[in-house]
Amino acid sequence: MLTSCRDMLERESDKERFTRLYRANRRQMARIASQILGSGPQAEDAVHDAFLKLIRHFSELRNRTDVQASRWLMVVAKNTALDILRKEQRETELDAERWEPAAPADDGEFYALVALIRGMPEDYRRVLELRFVAEWSVASIAKELSLTESTVKTRIFRGRKLLIHLLRKEGYLDGRACV
C-alpha cells in the first residue's frame, strides 16, 4: 500500500507540498487524535492514516490552498480517530460477570415492538436494520443504498432518536436512559 501511495506523489512539487503539510500539521493532528483516543500509539495510527488519505486524495486538493488542505487534514484526523474509537468499542466484549440477559418479553410485547419498528419511515427503518440488526458498517450501508456516508450517519442518528421517542411514547422505556 505504501509503495502505491508513494507513486501517487510523482511530481516534485507534490512531494514538497506534502512535506510542507506534514510538518505544519502533524502535531496538531496528533493532539486532536490524542484528545479522542487518549492513547499515543492509537493517535499516531490515526495521524498516519490521515496522511495516507491525503496522499490518496492529493490530486483533489491540488487546487486548494495549504490552509484549506490543513483544515481538511484536521477533519480527517478527527474522523479517523473517531473511527478507531468506534471500532475499539465494538470489539470490546461485555464483562461476563456484570452482564445480565434481559428478561424475555411475552409474545404480545414482542410483536407490538416489531410493529412499532416496522411502522417507522422507510429511510430510517432500513438504515437502522442494516446498522444494528445486520451489523453493517456505515460505508457498506452507504454503498448498498447509494447514499453518502454522511447521509447514512444522519439517518442513523435521526432514526435512533425517533425510535427512542416512539418507545417512550408506548411505555417501553418508562423514562429510563437509552443508548
pTM: 0.48
CATH classification of 2-91, choosing from 1.10.1740.10, 1.10.3720.10, 2.40.110.10, 2.40.30.10? 1.10.1740.10
For CATH 1.10.10.10, list the domain ranges present in the chain: 107-169
- Secondary structure element (H or E) that encloses residue 69, with its range: helix 66-91
Give pLDDT tens digits along the chain (179 positions): 344 444 567 788 888 988 999 999 999 999 888 888 886 788 899 999 988 988 888 888 888 888 888 898 888 898 888 888 877 765 544 343 344 444 445 556 666 666 777 788 988 888 888 887 777 889 988 988 889 999 999 999 999 999 888 888 887 766 555 54
Q: Tell whether domain 107-169 is in CATH 1.10.10.10.
A: yes
